Amino acid sequence: MAFFRTLFKTRGEAVSFACFALLILVILPLALPVFRLNLVGKYLSYGFVGIGLVLLWGRCGILSLGQGVFFGLGGYCMAMFLKLEASDPVTTAIQSTPGIPDFMDWNQLTALPKFWEPFHSFPFTVLAIFVVPGLVAFLIGWAMFRRRVGGVYFAIITQAIALILSLGIDGNQGYTGGRNGITDLRTLMGWDIRSEHAQQVLYFICVLLLLGSALFAKYIINTRFGRVLMAVRDQEERVRFSGYDVAMIRTFTFTVAAMLAGLGGALFVLQVGFMSPSLIGIVPSIELVIFAAVGGRLSVVGAMVGCLLVNFSKSAFSEAYPDLWLYLMGGTFIAVVMFFPDGLAGLFTKWGTIKNRAAALLARFRPASATTPNASQPAK
Partner 1 sequence: MFSEYTTEELQNIFMMQGFSGLSLFSVLLLMGLGLALIFGQMGVINMAHGEFMALGAYTVYFCSTLTEQYAPAFGPYYFICAIGIAFLVCALVGALVEFLMIRHLYHRPLDTLLATWGLSLIMQQTYRSLFGAREVTPTLPEWLMGSFNLKEGLDIPINGVFVLCLALLVTFVMILFMYKSKFGLRLRATVQNRKMSSAVGINTGKVDRVAFSLGCGIAGIAGAAFTTIGSTGPDSGSRYIVDAFLVVVFGGAANMLGCVASAFGIAQAQSILEFFLEGTKGKVATLLVIVVALMLRPQGLFPSKVRGH
**Residues that bind partner 1 in the complex, under the rule CB under 8 A:** 63, 65, 140, 143-144, 147-149, 151-153, 155-157, 159-161, 163-164, 167-168, 170-171, 282, 286, 289-290, 293, 323, 326-327, 329-334, 337-338, 341
Cα–Cα distance list, 330 to 11, 50, 352 (Å):
35, 19, 28
| Min separation Cβ 160 and partner 1, Å | 5
> Hey, what amino acid is at 293?
A
> How far is 266 from 177, CA to CA, in rounded Å?
17
Under DSSP, the state recorded for 187 is: E
| Min separation Cβ 314 and partner 1, Å | 12
| Min separation Cβ 321 and partner 1, Å | 11
Judged by beta carbon, residue 75 or residue 281, the one nearer partner 1 is 281
Task: List, in sequence order, every residue forming a beta bridge with 41; answer none if it has no partner.
Answer: none
Judged by beta carbon, residue 219 or residue 325, the one nearer partner 1 is 325
Q: Enumerate residues 6+ apart whose C-beta is below 8 A from 244.
A: 228, 232
Cβ–Cβ < 8 Å for 122, 189: yes
Task: List, in sequence order, every residue forming a beta bridge with 192; answer none if it has no partner.
Answer: 187
Work out the burial of residue 380: count CB atoms within 10 Å of its CB; fewer than 13 is exposed, 13-18 middle, 19 or more buried: exposed
| Min separation Cβ 239 and partner 1, Å | 19
| Min separation Cβ 219 and partner 1, Å | 26
| Min separation Cβ 292 and partner 1, Å | 10
| Min separation Cβ 286 and partner 1, Å | 6
Cβ–Cβ < 8 Å for 87, 102: yes
> How far is 299 from 297, CA to CA, in rounded Å?
6
Please give the helix or strand (H or E) that residue 51 lies within, else none.
Answer: helix 34-53
> How far is 212 from 260, CA to CA, in rounded Å?
11
| Min separation Cβ 88 and partner 1, Å | 31
Judged by beta carbon, residue 273 or residue 281, the one nearer partner 1 is 281
> How far is 255 from 268, CA to CA, in rounded Å?
20
| Min separation Cβ 150 and partner 1, Å | 10
> Residue 181 region, left (φ>0) first, then alpha (ψ -120 to 50), else beta?
left
Cβ–Cβ < 8 Å for 234, 184: no
Greatest Cα pair distance in the chain: 92
Cβ–Cβ < 8 Å for 57, 289: yes
| Min separation Cβ 80 and partner 1, Å | 20
Sign of CA dihedral 115, 120, 126, 127: negative
- Alpha carbons within 13 A on the beta-carbon side of 307: 28
Judged by beta carbon, residue 26 or residue 167, the one nearer partner 1 is 167
Judged by beta carbon, residue 125 or residue 159, the one nearer partner 1 is 159
